[in-house]
Every structure is written in structure tokens, then in C-alpha cells.
Amino acid sequence: MTARNPHYRIDPFDLRLFAAVAEGHTITAGARAVHLSLAAASTRLQALERVVGAVLMQRAKTGVTLTDAGRTLLRHAGRLQREMEALHAGMAAHAHGVRSTVRLLCNTAAISEHLPPLLGPFLAAHADIDVELRELDSQDVLFAMRQERADLGIVADYVNTEGLATRPFRRDELVAVLPAAWVKGRARAIAFTELLAQPFVGLPAEAGLSRFLQARALQHGRGLHHRVQVQGFDAMLRLVADGVGVAVVPALTAARLAGPRVRVRRLSDAWAVRQLLLCFGELTPGAAALLDALVVQ
């Protein structure tokens, strides 16, 4: 195969044809799927191989088999097709009057407790604005903000927000929840290190709160022993009530979900009480409107 032409660009239609051939296992089936003649499809596939400078498929009477280069191209082709579909969907939304999407990144406490009662009224009052919401830990929120991959972020005040504008959002506290049968004596605040000797119930490893707690444990030379990790706080509190393990959750979550078989204890660690901050750079009109709705009045 001759070297690829560095000045030539791959036609998205050729990627669609190539994916159709791979799915149908024959050039005939691929050509039929994209409404081309067999001759035209064969010509375009040969041109595609010249462009990329590699053989993409082995041709035989029984059909085609992708080479390693072909499998690599197929992975990229699928991703590009999905992105194009998302692009078309996004532009269609604009055509139907949806003028902006605000990308909001936040930590676990914000997404589970503080934002739901604020987003509903905002979205109801702004039919022309969508909100793309994603959970990350505070450090990753800052990284994404500095890469301009979000419009607004909500972080805890222990991170360095230099280079971004900030506004106070809400005070937030993390508390320990324990099975009632495990708690003896009077109610008192406990240190996070006391919990590390116990099995934990937690959120998935990628959740912002899980990553934060794991980092705190590593500061003490320990890891968290999770008996189980589940998708939501409801399941966590039920498992704590059943005596599976302890957990650390936002105080608002504990107040909302802890039943009689769960004991809530404040954490004595300074990091357990934090101020959540809204951080942002240059704002679009939609992001500015959402910021106004979220800022503490």
C-alpha cells in the first residue's frame, strides 16, 4: 500500500460506507445500505485505503475481513458518526427555538441535595435554556473549567479557584451515618479516622464523594474497605440500616433519609464543613441567567 496523501481528508460518507461494509460483511451489502452501486462502492473503498495508506479489509468470495487497520478505523468511524448525530440533534434543537445549553459541573452534595429544588423553577421559567449537568469531584470540576469544557462549576472551598470568578453557593456539611446497633454511649462527634476501622457502604468509585473520601483516607495511610458500592444515597442508607457498614454523606441527605435504625454523627474533621462555591469564567447569556438563579441572595 502506498503512503497516504497528507493533504487529503477523509470523506464522512466514505466512513459511513466502510462501516456499512463491516456490518454487512460484504461490499455488496454495504453498497446497498448506502444506496451505491457495487462498482461505485468498490472505487470509493479503494480510494479510502489510498487516503489512509493501509489495507483496511481482506476481500474474498465469501466476503470481507477487517485488518487491524480496518478495525482501528471502524472504532473511530463509529465515534465520529455518533458525534455527527449529536451535532445534528443539537442544531435541530436550535432550529426549534432552544437557544442555549448551559454546561454545569458540580460535586456530589450539590447535585443530590442543593440543585434539584433550584433547577426546577429555573428551567420552568426559561424554556429556551437547557442544562447539561454532570457530577465530578471539585478538583476535576476546576480542571474542566480551565479547559473551557463547562460554563459553571460548583466546588468546595478547599480547592484553589485562582483564575476563575467565584460566588458563594451553599454551606455544606458531611456527616457519618452508622447502624444504630453499632453505636454505644452518648452522641458525640467522631473523627474520620475512627471510621476507617469499619467496613464502608459507598457510591461508585468514580463518584465525586467517593474520590474525595478515598483521598482523605490515603492521607492517613489507609484505604476504604467497601463492602458494597451502590448508585444512590437511598440504597446506601438502607444498607447502613441493615448493618452492612458505615458511610459518609451530606448532612441534608442524612436528615432526609436516615431512619430509626441509623445514627447520624457529626465529623470532627475540619474538612467536613465546607462552603460550596460557584465558579465561572466568561459567561454566555444562558449561563449568566442560571448563575443569577443559583447565587445566594
- Torsion angle defined by CA atoms of residues 139, 143, 145 and 150, in that order, rounded to the nearest 10 degrees: -90
Full residue range of the structural domain in which residue 243 is found:
172-274
Shared domain for 150 and 270, answered yes or no, is no
Do 65 and 197 sit in the same domain of this protein?
no
Residue 93 in this model has a pLDDT that exceeds 80: no
How confident is the model at residue 84, as a pLDDT? 73
Shared-domain flag, residues 290 and 269: no
Average pLDDT for 274-281: 92
Three-state SS at 34: coil
> Which pLDDT score is estimated for 296?
61
Q: Is residue 254 assigned to a domain?
A: yes
Better-predicted residue by pLDDT, 164 or 5: 164
The CATH number of whichever domain residue 250 belongs to comes to 3.40.190.10
Q: What CATH number does residue 60 fall under?
A: 1.10.10.10
Judgement on whether residues 245 and 176 belong to the same structural domain of the protein: yes
Domain count, the chain: 3
- Mean pLDDT, residues 15-34 taken together: 90
Rounded distance between C-alpha atoms, residue 188 and residue 191, angstroms? 10
pLDDT level of residue 90 (50, 70, 90 thresholds): low
pLDDT at 4: 54
Residues 188 and 46 in one domain: no
Centre a 10 Å sphere on the Cβ of residue 249 and count the other Cβ atoms it contains: 28
Question: Percent of the chain having pLDDT more than 70?
Answer: 92
Determine the longest span between alpha carbons in the chain, in angstroms: 84
Span 207-216, pLDDT tens digits = 889 988 998 9
Quick one: 214 and 260 in the same domain?
Answer: yes
d(CA 241, CA 262): 5
Give the predicted TM-score (pTM) of the model. Answer: 0.63
Q: Over the stretch 131-187, which tens digit does the pLDDT of each residue have?
A: 999 888 888 888 888 877 889 999 998 888 888 999 999 999 999 999 999 988 777
Q: Do 154 and 282 lie in a common domain? A: yes
- Is the domain of 187 the same as that of 228? yes
Least confident of 19-23, 84-88, 203-207, 217-221: 84-88
* Model pLDDT, residue 208: 85
Same domain (yes/no): 21, 51: yes
Instruction: Please tell me the predicted confidence (pLDDT) of residue 95.
Output: 61
pLDDT tens per residue, range 229-246: 999 999 999 999 999 999
pLDDT average, residue stretch 17-23: 89
Look up residue 111 and give its three cell numbers.
Answer: 447535585
Statement to judge: residues 89 and 181 lie in one domain: no
| Separation CA 142–CA 149 (nearest Å) | 10
Statement to judge: residues 142 and 222 lie in one domain: no
Q: H or E stretch including 133?
A: strand 129-135
Position 297 confidence tier, pLDDT thresholds 50, 70, 90 = very low
Q: With respect to residue 2, please indicate whether it lies within any of the assigned structural domains.
A: no
